Amino acid sequence: MLFRSLILGTSKFPPLRRLVTKSKLFRPLVRRFVAGETLDDAISAAETECEKGLFVSLDLLGENVATETEATQARRAYEEIIDRIAASPHKSEINISIKLTALGLDQGDEVAERNFRTLLSRAAQHDIFVRADMEASEYTERTIAMIERVFPDFANTGTVLQSYLHRTPGDVTKMIDLGARVRIVKGAYLEPASVAHQEKERVDQEYLIAAKRLLKDGHYPAIATQDQAIIEELKQFVVTENIAKDSFEWQMLYGIRRDLQEGLRKEGFNVRVYIPYGDQWYPYFTRRLAERPANLLFIIRSTVKG
């Protein structure tokens, strides 16, 4: 947890950001987590995963736009993704993940909602699901409220809940009652003790509680984790509770634990790979570094060797 706080805390310093985004040193590791910079790269990575029997969620990297114009541009870029998915032979296996701050949440709820509804309407025409990712805790309430407002008109959306937040058990109930799809994750941001559990054991424990509730009473939940111990416990739960394999899906990040992804698929589970792409990869990349000290060691080792 200390390593995580250190990386997430220092990553916001502009000189460090410049160093990481300009230096070639980080490129091999960035490419491990990010499918490429263009939509062509993303579609090609998605189709490769689909050919292995996996499902995909595409994320055009970008968050916290500065103006309404940028929010409109982000929406248009997502519309282009929808059209490309609709034209793919793997259309039914690919969906979209989006951050509401990319659609203008910092510019106001109305701006983000207008863009979100336009996008959902276009996606609905092609039967494509669009999930609102969950960002830092300052946005949680507004993201949940947005889903509550748009879901009655667009059943092709849902969101993400983070087990580290104290408020999540209440949000699980809300989303089950609403009928919206939930992706359960541990949570990737640096949050204070006033809003989030700080100990890994507690976050894991809360994850299991939320995931089990969603598996029993949720609506096609997504169990998103690379944590093998949690996966094993939930697999056992699914058997003892007689939960159908096709009533939920596992989700994992592109480039992480491919062995687990393919193993679960071979066991007959639905597995979706979250594929990020685009040139705005820095915040996503630092969150992935923060999750695993070994990722940073990989860079240090390549520097020493080079």
Ligand X SMILES: Cc1cc2nc3c(=O)[nH]c(=O)nc-3n(C[C@H](O)[C@H](O)[C@H](O)COP(=O)(O)OP(=O)(O)OC[C@H]3O[C@@H](n4cnc5c(N)ncnc54)[C@H](O)[C@@H]3O)c2cc1C
Supply 136's token pair.
């830092």
Q: Which residues within the stretch 150-169 sit at the binding site for ligand X (CB under 6 A)?
A: 160, 162
What string of DSSP letters covers 57-70?
A: EEEE-----SSHHH
Angstrom distance (rounded) from CA 68 to CA 71: 5
Instruction: Give the shortest CB-206-to-ligand X separation in angstroms.
Output: 12
Angstrom distance (rounded) from CA 137 to CA 191: 7
Site string for ligand X, 227-246 (x = CB under 6 A): x-------------------
Angle at which helices 168-178 and 200-217 cross, to 10°: 10
Angstrom distance (rounded) from CA 235 to CA 197: 25
Residue 183 falls in the annotated catalytic set: yes
Angstrom distance (rounded) from CA 300 to CA 66: 34
Active-site residue (options: 59, 75, 131, 133): 133
Q: Which is nearer to ligand X, 68 or 166 (CB)?
A: 166
Asked if residue 224 binds ligand X (CB under 6 A), the reply is: yes
Stretch that binds ligand X, among 42-50, 114-122, 223-231, 275-283 (CB under 6 A): 223-231
Residues 179 and 151 sit within 8 Å (Cβ to Cβ): yes
Site string for ligand X, 46-75 (x = CB under 6 A): ------------------------------
Which residues form the interface with ligand X (CB under 6 A)?
Answer: 133-134, 160, 162, 185-189, 224-227, 251-253, 256-257, 274, 288, 291-292, 295
Residues annotated as catalytic (active site), given as ranges = 133, 183
